[in-house]
Amino acid sequence: MDGFGVSFAFWVLAAITLVAAGGVMVSRNLLHAVLFLILTFVGVAGFFVLLSADFIAMAADAK
């Protein structure tokens, strides 16, 4: 993992994914938890794109 763009994307994605995953745990509303979970999945799909695993990323995004 080298280059500024890749590491920047990694840290942004990490922040989004972690915050969303935390949101799944703390939200009192069930539907908010579901929406946070979807955001978590999108973040994980982004990680797969960073790993050059495009197909898995699309599968993770399409669920």
Closer of 14 and 59 to other proteins (Cβ): 59
Q: Of 24 and 35, which has the nearer Cβ to other proteins?
A: 35
* Residue 58 beta carbon to other proteins: minimum distance, rounded to whole angstroms: 4
Q: Which residues bind other proteins (CB under 8 A)?
A: 29, 31-32, 35, 38, 45, 54-55, 58-59, 61-63
Kindly give, in sequence order, each residue whose CB lies less than 8 Å from that of residue 9, ignoring residues fewer than 6 positions away. 46, 50
Task: Measure CA of the first residue to CA of the last residue in the chain; give whole Å.
Answer: 26
Q: Which amino acid is at 16?
A: I
